[in-house]
Structure 1
Amino acid sequence: MTTTRPSDLDTALAGLEATGARPRAGGTDLTACLAHGVLAPGPVVDLTGVPTLRGIDWRKDGSARVGALTSVHELSADPRLREAYPALARTAGALATPQIRGAATLGGNLLQRNRCWYLRNPAFDCFQTGGDSCPAREGDHLLGVVVDQGPCVAPHPSTVAVALVAYDAVAEIAGDGTGDGAGTRERPVAELYDATDPARDHVLDPSQVLVAVSLPAPTPGERAAYLRATGRSRAEWPLVEATVRLACADGGEGPVESAAVAVGGVARTPLRLPEVENALVGALPGAEPDAAVDEALEGLADLCSPLPGTRYKVPLLRDTVRAGVEQALGFARA
């Protein structure tokens, strides 16, 4: 397996186009895919030598542009990010282990492959390995989707994407398959994922590179929470996860003026929950969510179309979101 390490983005793009190489950032997912036979050995373009993919830039309005090679640890630990985007920092700080957060990158987390055990077992073929079916749909899908969006039933794997979708973040993408640089384009992070194509976990072409993610200007008075339900307490993939953002009046102490609630682990794409968001407007910090919020939470069952083995995720989704909302509001049950 040959590896090149270009020092600028145009050279990296040209290498990806000319050789059919795979891009590598932190390498945490690529290494696992090679080890499990998900990917065959082949040429690699190591992006870590491209300095323009690193770092956090702050704009005059207080908004941030985060380079794709920024580590997940930096997302959780950078003091200014923690203050401006608390939901992102909390979400990033809860995934994987400290060692993985130190090596894994923003771009790698957003564009990683799913964790379906059929995909990662070379004894099986599926849509993502050139097959024409999803063996998990009729097989063991205990960790699968509860919102059935398309042929593949593996939940999207990016925890960071859940938080970025809650912020309406925008991805900056370079490359158009011509190998000549061709500038960059933007698209919402939510549009990096398309459940209708079972062969892919994201929409980027192999010759494209995620350059950065832009976040909107911070929201004054934001209260935030991140919660995940897992099968064990340490280093486990979430069964359900929820990121909650509440913009409250009076510096965070007054009523909720707007809300963003995003969930993962339940569908092929990260999902926003607009009914819950709307019901939260007017909620008071420190108080128990009212009947309108309860009704919206109970209504999440109507969003679900569970597989036989994922019916347990219907109440788990409701209760995880409820706990995240209560945590963001600062309401503690007796």
Structure 2
Amino acid sequence: MITVTRPATLDEALSGLDGTGALPRAGGTDLTACLGSGVIGSAPVVDLSGVGELRGVDWLPDGSARVGALTGVGELAGDPGLADAYPALAAVARVLATPQVRDAATLGGNLLQRNRCWYLRNPAFDCFQTGGDSCPARSGDHLYGVVVDQGPCVAPHPSSLAVALLAHDATVLVAGAGSTQPEERPVADLYDGADPARDHVLAPGRVLVSVSLPVPVRGERSSHRRATGRSRSEWPLVEAVARLDCGVDGAGPVTRAAVAVGGVARTPLRLPGVESALVGALPGRALGPEAEDALADLASLCSPLPSTGYKVDLLRATVRDVLERALGVPRS
């Protein structure tokens, strides 16, 4: 039988996690499945749902936002203020999973979830993440695996919200028992593609407290696209988020671009070559030669596995699609 404690404050939660081997539970949509399948061994659980300071959206005087890690994905999808200030984040939240999962899942849980590799989720196999010394997917069935090979594990990171937050230049606040101050770090620093044993770098006992989003860019043009094997409730094969600063009216040339992709590597990725090639692009116009060259160069980023070569073209097509949608390029 699993012991569950329900702290009311963050300090109580951190004390319950400190050195106890207990697992934090947010919405529980992934933890419950991991415990049931044996991905995670039986352990005490610290239920964070009663920690009010981990919930909600706080708007700061400069217009930026702080979003508690326990804020529901459904809340992110339905918040008009977030949709206005950070449209790419809201767009991603609206298409995650099913309405039932969005109502239960949380921002922090989505960022820190385990990957969906079927070898990891099958107790008949050992892998790096279950204490083994190999990745059975690398030499086995890896049809949905990485196309940008960062390290020994070939399971793509599953967090779509991480892709959006990477494009939004977000930071995260992390706390742990005994720490004098919570630590703030870029969202990209939650992940390390070279580490095959973990899907995120947070040490046991540490808790993701909140996500901070920078001052919104007025007139921003953005788009999100995911390529999936079916239209609903599917993990993306490739997904991309584009954010374009085209002036306060959204009609001027691009002065800054942010393009992030997921489903292709152990971590979400930014595409700096594509971003720099977009500067000067005009809304409503076809992509220029610099952008076309940058899209072609995405192949050089890829190191496909025997069964993931199809993702090279899919990555290029998905990124092209979000760029054209964000720019409002007319469709023939």
Instruction: Give the alignment's TM-score, normalised by structure 2.
Output: 0.98
Alignment-mate amino acid for residue 316 of structure 1: L
Report if aligned partners of 1:174, 1:182 keep a CA contact under 8 Å in 2. Answer: no
SS of 1:48's partner is helix
| Equivalence for 2:155 | 154
* Residue in structure 2 matching 1:283, options 281, 291, 295: 281
SS of 2:275's partner is helix
* Residue in structure 2 matching 1:217, options 205, 215, 218: 215
Deviation sequence 1:93-138 (CA, Å, 0-9, x none): 1111111111100000000000000000000000000000000000
Q: Kindly indicate whether residue 206 of structure 2 is the aligned counterpart of residue 208 of structure 1.
A: yes
- Aligned CA-pair RMSD: 0.9
| Equivalence for 2:64 | 63
For structure 1, list consecutive stretches of 5 or more residues without a partner in the other structure.
none
SS of 1:295's partner is helix
Going from structure 1 to structure 2, the CA distance change for 1:181 and 1:3 (only over 3 Å counts) comes to farther
Alignment-mate amino acid for residue 318 of structure 1: R
Aligned length in residues: 331
Give the Cα separation in 2 of the matches to 1:293 and 1:314. 17
Q: Which moved more, 1:109-118 or 1:251-260?
A: 251-260
Alignment-mate amino acid for residue 28 of structure 1: T
Give the Cα separation in 2 of the matches to 1:250 and 1:111. 35
Report if aligned partners of 1:13, 1:181 keep a CA contact under 8 Å in 2. Answer: no
Report if aligned partners of 2:226, 2:318 keep a CA contact under 8 Å in 1. Answer: yes
Runs of 4+ deviating beyond 2 Å:
179-183
Q: Kindly indicate whether residue 166 of structure 2 is the aligned counterpart of residue 168 of structure 1.
A: no
How big is the shift at 1:250? Answer: 4.4
Give the Cα separation in 2 of the matches to 1:62 and 1:251. 18
* Residue in structure 1 matching 2:326, options 316, 321, 328: 328
Report if aligned partners of 1:14, 1:181 keep a CA contact under 8 Å in 2. Answer: no
How big is the shift at 1:330? Answer: 1.1
SS of 1:28's partner is coil
Q: Kindly indicate whether residue 35 of structure 2 is the aligned counterpart of residue 34 of structure 1.
A: yes
Alignment-mate amino acid for residue 246 of structure 1: L
| Equivalence for 1:137 | 138
Deviation sequence 1:223-243 (CA, Å, 0-9, x none): 110000001111000000001
- Alignment identity in percent? 70
Give the Cα separation in 2 of the matches to 1:183 and 1:282. 42
How big is the shift at 1:332? Answer: 2.8
How big is the shift at 1:18? Answer: 4.1
Alignment-mate amino acid for residue 199 of structure 2: D
Deviation sequence 1:263-299 (CA, Å, 0-9, x none): 0000001100011111111111111111111110010
Instruction: Give the alignment's TM-score, normalised by structure 1.
Output: 0.98
* Residue in structure 2 matching 1:264, options 262, 265, 275: 262
Q: Kindly indicate whether residue 85 of structure 2 is the aligned counterpart of residue 88 of structure 1.
A: no
Give the Cα separation in 2 of the matches to 1:252 and 1:94. 25
